[in-house]
Amino acid sequence: MSIAIAAAPQQVLQQYKQIRTQTEHICQPLEPEDTVVQPIVDVSPPKWHMAHTSWFFETFLLKPHLPGYKEFHPQYGYLFNSYYNSVGSRVQRDQRGTLTRPPLRDIYTFRQHIDEHMQKLLQSISDDKLAALMPVLQLGLQHEQQHQELLITDIKYILSTNPMLPTYSSQSSKQPVKAAKANYLEVPDGVYTIGYQGNDFCFDNELGVHEVLLEDFAVMNRLVTNGEYLEFIQDGGYQDFRHWLDEGLAMVRKDNLQAPLYWLEQEGEWHRFTMHGLQKVDMNEPVTHISFYEAYAYANWAGKRLLTEFEWEAASQVYPPATGNFVENNILEPTAADATKEGMQQLYGDAWEWTYSAYHPYPGFTKAPGAIGEYNGKFMLNQMVLRGGSCATPESHIRTTYRNFFHPDKRWQYNGIRLASK
């Protein structure tokens, strides 16, 4: 799953505290009532996320490695296991939204209990032992960061289903900005090395470093904007079968799709539900909350195509991502590409980029033994790879080799479009 990383206990503890605190920071604006529900099966109750990430530390670190540790509650394992068959039975995923107990305040107590004991573990552990536990510990922290992003997208979805359209946080008034003009940057043909080669943490799905042979292509310098996507809508893009994959067209017709998720037409003008309430669609910002099907159809309509994940990774080698709009910005929505800058933008942050690559194992992929091995491998079918992180991703969590993955119909994540030509 991950490679061992040398680090001083004190440093690790600080990292641990920072990440754990951030989870609670995200949930701070919520009412207890907000933390219970599961309006669609993809969305988990925030209460569940907060408990599940703690369960991970209890199960894989405290119980096996802190002498004398007693589990916080005998039923929390059953309640807050997500999908690890190795660890026993669990609440069915689609039943998470009926669990009103334990109440939110108990979950906070649970988190505090875990944090105190993790501190105890990290303060009492030898350097050797710490080195041995680092892979699992790092996995626990990365795992919590992944759930931080899910917390944001799930909270957004939960609030959006409410006819009162509640606001997650207020936003200082922003100046409309003109987006950088679109152009295409060349990536030469050649052999590119794919996968993680560093010495820090990575997921198992980034391993299996291997070479791929790519033909030359050109890649858009930024993400597709709402304004560009609106042209597709206004050109009848959702109605014209020629742009769509067959299963995408079926979804469009069944769900009567007309625009990205969260878009709402009011008196002839498009608005979108954001973390800061309902706003007019800003035409310079990247389009987001679209399915792979919509990304594909848009690219087809535009006479372009999506990148493969290998092309994306090659492009990120040729045009190394500088920085991006991550969760640390606290904007929680994509922002316009900077019109004053030349070259590649938005490879990192703003919106995950759908690639036309199925989420399959790299050559030589092997699962870790035991429960940890259930982390990634068993999901390697029917899902598409997304790259680059979003405005809800922690900057410390992302890498150019990072492979996110979702089913092609999923829209509730901050997903966007970057085009390739040739």
Backbone CA torsion sign across 271, 272, 273, 276: negative
User: How far is CA 31 from its chain centroid?
Assistant: 24
Half-sphere exposure of 332 (CA within 13 A, CB side): 22
109 contact partners, CB below 8 Å, separation of at least 6: none
> Which 264-293 residues touch its own copies, going by CB under 8 A?
292
Of the residues 122, 134, 150, 158, which one makes contact with its own copies according to CB under 8 A: 158
CB 222 within 8 A of CB 182: yes
Interaction between residue 246 and its own copies (CB under 8 A): yes
Task: Give the binding range for its own copies (CB under 8 A) out of 9-17, 116-124, 244-252, 271-279.
Answer: 244-252
Give the CA angle between residues 336, 308, 44 to the nearest 5°: 65
Interaction between residue 162 and its own copies (CB under 8 A): yes
Nearer to its own copies among residue 12 and residue 155 (C-beta):
155
Task: Give the binding range for its own copies (CB under 8 A) out of 18-26, 98-106, 225-233, 280-288.
Answer: 98-106
Interaction between residue 317 and its own copies (CB under 8 A): no
Backbone CA torsion sign across 328, 331, 334, 340: negative
Task: Give the binding range for its own copies (CB under 8 A) out of 101-109, 144-152, 180-188, 390-398.
Answer: 101-109
Give the integer Cα–Cα distance in Å for 285 and 235: 20
> Which 338-357 residues touch its own copies, going by CB under 8 A?
356-357
Residue 119, both tokens: 């501190």
Interaction between residue 211 and its own copies (CB under 8 A): yes
Q: x/- string (CB under 8 A) for its own copies, residues 38-77?
A: -x-------x---------------------------x--
Within the chain, how many helices (H) and strands (E) appear?
10, 13
Stated length of the chain: 422
Q: Which amino acid is it at 203?
A: F
Nearer to its own copies among residue 229 and residue 244 (C-beta):
244
Of the residues 5, 79, 87, 233, which one makes contact with its own copies according to CB under 8 A: 79
Q: What HEC string does 194-208 produce?
A: ECCCCCCCCCHHHCC
Torsion of CA 9, 10, 14, 20, to 10 degrees: 40
Of the residues 18, 21, 85, 279, which one makes contact with its own copies according to CB under 8 A: 85
Binding site for its own copies (CB under 8 A): 31-37, 39, 47, 75, 78-79, 83, 85-86, 91, 95, 97-104, 158-159, 161-164, 166, 191, 210-213, 215, 241-242, 244-249, 292, 296, 356-358, 360-361, 363-364, 378-382, 408
